[in-house]
Amino acid sequence: MNKSRLYGIWSIIISVMFFILISSAIGAEKEPIRIGVIISITGEAAEMGIENKRTIDVAVDLLNAKGGIKGYPVKAIILDGQSKPAVFATKAHRLLEAFKVVGAIGGNDISYATAAGEVFQDAKTPFLDIGGTTATIPLVGEYMFMSPIPDNDQGRAVAKYIYEKFGYDTVAIFKDVGSAYGTKLTEYIIHFLKGFTGKENPVPLVLSYNTGDSDYSAQLTRLKASINKLGIQAIILPT
């Protein structure tokens, strides 16, 4: 299951729980419960953001088809964060000031989730991260929540699977240095592989690239020359 599909499923489950949690903030009149959504519909994270939007649309339709929340219809105010942290922060202010949302969800990445989450934290309004996976995200404050499995748990699962399922103790990693997710996950995989294998250096080769690169010939040439020399048994792409 790809990452965007997994986050889509999590979005439905967590969004429903989140809507119920914050419904107590609604007054007596049955006006729509306005939930803010900031996702990347454009930019480098658009693929995941578009998937998120479809999922949220389905979640809202399902809720409203069953009478909403305690009889109140739900309205999702969806804004495009454009895959830029500064835009996420700006859109967070807009949701609070122009739309008076009672809570919001969004993220796609730690930089986006944190940028928006800090704004909602200052406003003492709940914000649920649905994409950023860095374990420190909830430390933004008591109004900041996260639904995905954190990077440290993902890294441990990958390391355990590689070692216990296949018996591999020497691997190479392709690391996206332009992604906070890829960089942090690489660190966790290396950390846990050391523990599982008992080796000081179970990842003797880390090859770097940037999001959007189209030429990987240099990395592949280096990999080819290192497989036998370093005893590489598998290649991991934490992205």
pLDDT, tens only, 72-89 = 999 999 999 999 999 999
- Residue 139 per-residue DSSP state: G
Convert the pLDDT of each residue in 33-87 to its tens digit.
999 999 999 998 999 999 999 999 999 999 999 999 889 999 999 999 999 999 9
CA distance 71 to 69: 5
Pick the CATH number of 151-236 from 3.90.1150.10, 3.40.50.2300, 3.40.50.720, 3.20.20.140: 3.40.50.2300
Locate the domains of the chain by residue range. Answer: 3-146, 151-236
Please determine, looking at this structure, whether the domain spanning 3-146 carries the CATH number 3.30.360.10: no
Q: Is the pTM of this model over 0.85?
A: no
Same fold, 3-146 and 151-236: yes
How many whole angstroms separate alpha carbon 87 and alpha carbon 57? 22
